[in-house]
Chains A and B, each alone.
Chain A
Amino acid sequence: MTERSAYARLSIPVRCHQMELPTTYLGRLSKANGIPAPWLARRAAAQRSRAGRSDEVGTIIEELSGVPTARFMNFHEAASVGMGDLLRPPFDRQRLSRIACLACTSGEHVTTYDHIRFSLCLRHGTWLGSGATQRFAAAEPAFVTAERRARRLVATGTITQGMFESAWELVRNNVYMLGNSHWGQRLEAVRETPGFIREVDDRLAFFPEAVRVLDVISRPKFISSASAGRRDCINRRNYLNRAFDWVPGERWVLVEGIDRLRSRAAA
C-alpha cells in the first residue's frame, strides 16, 4: 500500500477549545478556511476507513492545522474522569456531548466531550451543566463557590457522573421537605421565570445544594462506612445526620435516600 501524501498546513489558524471534539474542530477549521466542511469530513472518513486507524482524523487535523493528535487524546482522558464507559474512544462519534461556553468561543457553536470536570465557566459565569442550553449565573457567589467545590471533588477521582446525577435527583425530588417553604419558594420563583426550562434552570438554582450533597457522599469516611454494608449502619446514619446539618428541613429524607442508593449499589 502506498503512503498517502500529507496535507499542507491551512493558512487561517483556528484555536482549539478545551475538551473540543476532533470532528467539530475539523468542521470549524474547514469553515474558517473556506472549505466545505462536509467534503473534508467525508474525505477524512474515507481515509480513516482505508487506513483502518481510528486516529486518522487526528492525523489529518494535525497536518492541516498543526494541532497535535495528542491534544484530543488528552481532552478525552480529562473528560473520561468519572464518566465510566459513557465516552467512546477519542476519535469515534460520541453519543453524548456538551457545548463549550459561548462566551469563551465568541458565540461559536463548539461541541465538546461530555464530562463532569466543570459545570460553570468561571471566567464568564456561564452555566454549562445542562447540555446545550446555557445560562448566565455569575451574579450568585454561591454558584462560584459550589463550582470550585465540585471541581475539587472531581479532581479526587472518587466522583462519578452517576453520583452527580443522584445528588441532583435527591435534592430535586425532595426540595419541599428538605428546605421547608424557603427552598420551595425558590423553586417556584425559578419556574415562574419567563423561558424556564426544566432540568436547566432548576438544576442551576439548586446546584450549590446538589454539590454539598455530593461532597458528603464522596468523603472517605462515608465511602469506607458504605462499603462496610449493614454492619456500620448506625454509624453511617449518624454521620450523614451530622453532615447534613446545613439542611433546614427534614434531613432524614436525604439520609434515607442515600442509604437506599448505597444498598442499591451494593446489590
Chain B
Amino acid sequence: MTDTEFNPGPKNLRRGFRARIDHDPEPPATLTRAQAKRLSPEDLASYDDARLTWFASDVLIDTPTSSALIKQVKRLVRTRRPVAVGERTIALSGASHVGKTTALFQLAREIEADARRDDPDFIARGHSPVVYLEIPAGCTPKGVLAMVLNFFDVPHSYRAATQQDLMKWAVEQFRVHHTKVVIVDEMQMLRLRGTTGDDTINTLKNLLNQAGVTVVYAGVNLREGLASLAAQQLLKRAKFIHATPYENVTDLGRATWLNLVNYLGSEMLLIGADENHLGAHANDLYRRTGGSIGNMRMLLADVMELAIEQRGADMHEHVTVDILAEAAEGFEGWAAA
C-alpha cells in the first residue's frame, strides 16, 4: 500500500481529492467453494479482508440521484461558453446518508473522464477540471476564499491579505487550473437562515460568478434552510435535484430496490452464494434501512462480515434472516428516521 493510499489527505485538498478520484481498484476474484478450500488459512484470511474492504469502500453504485446529477451537470458543462454571462448552478439537496457526497464524487469522476478525453495529459499539466470545496462550520467570507486557495495548495497570508486580494487570487486559481465544475458540499454550514451567514454567501456567489464555472451546491435540506435574501438569491436560480431514499411503494420503486439489493448481493462476492441470493431479503432490508443507500451499505458490510465469520467447513457463505437481524442490532432507528 502506498503512502497516498494509506493516507490520501483531506478530500477538500487537491491531492486528497485526486487520490479519491483516481482510486479505481479491481474487485477480488470470485472463488468457488472448491477453490476456496484449496487456500491456506493465511491466504483465505487475506481474501476475506480484500472482499470486505472492496464491499465496504470500493463498490460504486449508480443511484437515480447520481445519474440525474451527472446528466444535468454534464449537459451544463457541454453547453457552456466561457464568455457567457450568468451563473449556471445545480443544487443537490436531501437528508443525510442518502449518498449525496458519493454522487458528487461520481460526478467528479465523470467530468474528469471527459477532460481526459479532451486532453490525456491534463493532470500532468496541473489542470483541475473539478474542484471540491467543503464548507466548514462557522465559515467566514475570507474563509470561503482561503478554502479555494487551500484546495490548490496556494500559499497565502489569510490574516494579512484583504478580502479583495484573496478574491482575486481565488478567481485566478480557477482560470489557471482550467476548472469547469466547482462542487460546494456541506452548504447547510453556511447558515442559510439569519443575516450572519449573508456575507459569506454573497462572497461565495461573487467568487463563483467571477470564476465562470458550473457550480454544484450540495447540502442537507437546502430549500428548507433558505430564509435570508442572500441564500434565496444563491439557490433560487439553481436547478434542484433531490436526493431521496429509495421508495418501496410503487411497482417501479420496488423493482429498482430489488435490482439494487441484487447488485449489492453480487458485489459481496460470497463464496458459494447463488445469484440474486440477497433478493429474498429485499423487503426486510428496506424495512431496516428505510431505503437509505448509506445505511444499506453499512448494514450489508456488517452482514457480509458475519456471513464470512459463520462460514462452515463446506465453505458456503450465505445471508440468513438471523445474520440480518444480528447485523441490524442497534440500527433499528434508521427506518423511523
Q: Which residues of A contact B (CB under 8 A)?
A: 7-13, 32-36, 40, 43, 64
Contact = CB atoms under 8 A, between A and B. Distances in A.
Contacts of B125: 12-13
5 contacts: A11-B153, A12-B177, A33-B154, A34-B176, A43-B155
Interface string B89-131: 0000000000000000000000000000000000011101000
A35 B155 contact: yes
B154 A34 contact: yes
Contacts of A9: 153
Contact of A36 (B14, B128, B169, B177): B169
B126 A11 contact: yes
B169 A34 contact: yes
B332 interface: no
Contacts of B126: 10-13, 33
Interface in B133-186: 152-155, 157, 169, 172-173, 175-177
A11 B154 CA distance: 9
Contact of A34 (B14, B15, B157, B173): B173
A8 B10 CA distance: 14
A192 B233 CA distance: 67
B152 A7 contact: no
B9 to A, nearest CB: 10
Nearest to B151: A11
Contacts of B177: 11-12, 34
B297 to A, nearest CB: 32
A7 B156 CA distance: 10
Contacts of A12: 125-126, 176-177
Contacts of B124: 13
Indicate the size class of the contact surface on chain B: 10 to 19
A132 to B, nearest CB: 27
Contacts of A40: 155
A156 B201 CA distance: 67
A35 B14 contact: no
Given A8-B15, A11-B126, A34-B172, 11 more contacts: A10-B154, A11-B128, A11-B177, A12-B125, A12-B126, A12-B176, A33-B152, A34-B169, A35-B154, A35-B169, A36-B169
A182 B93 CA distance: 84
Q: Of residues B124, B126, B155, B169, which shows the largest number of chain A Cβ atoms within 10 Å of its Cβ? A: B155
Interface of B: 14-15, 124-126, 128, 152-155, 157, 169, 172-173, 175-177
Contacts of B175: 34
B56 to A, nearest CB: 30
A8 B176 contact: no
B153 A8 contact: yes
Nearest to B13: A8
Contacts of A13: 124-126
Contact of B14 (A11, A32, A43): A11
Given A32-B176, A34-B175, A11 B169 contact: no
Nearest to A35: B154
Q: Of residues A11, A33, A35, A43, which shows the largest number of chain B Cβ atoms within 10 Å of its Cβ? A: A11
B250 to A, nearest CB: 47
Contacts of B152: 10-11, 33-34
A173 to B, nearest CB: 51
A13 B127 CA distance: 10
Q: Which 9 A-B pairs have the closest CB atoms?
A: A12-B126, A34-B172, A8-B153, A11-B126, A34-B176, A34-B173, A7-B155, A35-B154, A11-B152
A52 B310 CA distance: 66
Given A32-B176, A33-B176, A34-B175, A10 B169 contact: no
Contacts of B155: 7-8, 35, 40, 43, 64
A12 B14 CA distance: 12
Contacts of A64: 155
Nearest to B15: A8
Nearest to A12: B126
Contacts of B15: 8
Nearest to A36: B169
A34 B131 CA distance: 16
B112 to A, nearest CB: 14
Nearest to A63: B155
B149 to A, nearest CB: 9
B128 to A, nearest CB: 7
Nearest to A8: B153
A74 to B, nearest CB: 25
Contacts of A8: 15, 153, 155
A33 B126 CA distance: 9
A7 B152 CA distance: 12
Contacts of A35: 154-155, 169, 172
A40 B169 CA distance: 12
B163 to A, nearest CB: 15
A34 to B, nearest CB: 4
A174 B229 CA distance: 82
Contacts of A43: 155, 157
B41 to A, nearest CB: 44
Contacts of A32: 176
A35 B176 CA distance: 10
Contacts of B173: 34
B214 to A, nearest CB: 20
A12 B153 CA distance: 11
